[in-house]
Amino acid sequence: MIEQIRPLQVNEWLAAQGAPAVVLDVREDWEVEAASVKAEGFALQIIPMSELPQRVGELSPESAIAVLCHHGHRSQRVALFLEQQGFSKLANIAGGIEAWAEERDPGVPRY
């Protein structure tokens, strides 16, 4: 089962995993251009969901990965895919970048 975390819990959850911390943004390039998060306390890696099967090797199974999309649906699917690939330290950022803008950083544009 994939853990669901809110944007304000991201840094705490990543730190608790005892592994390199990554927020994986799986939105399309145009979405990232419209609104992006600041990497504060974690590495930000951007791999669109459509490219992930070919690029999964760019991620380390040892990392703690919190997956981000627009509302939390694509990121949940990606987290489940990564779990099937042997990744174990996974969380879905519930509410996606919309919730990030509401709860964590109001400077993030909404689209």
- Nearest Cα residue to 39 out of 87, 100, 82: 100
- Other CB atoms within a 10 A radius of the CB of residue 43 amount to 13
- Other CB atoms within a 10 A radius of the CB of residue 91 amount to 22
111 residues of the chain, pLDDT tens digit each: 899 999 999 999 999 999 899 999 999 999 999 999 999 999 999 999 999 999 999 999 999 999 999 999 999 999 999 999 999 999 999 999 999 999 999 999 999
pTM, 2 dp:
0.97
The answer to whether the CB of 2 falls within 8 A of the CB of 44 is: no
Candidates 69, 79, 90, 93; catalytic one: 69
CATH number of 3-103: 3.40.250.10
Q: Is 58 a catalytic residue?
A: no
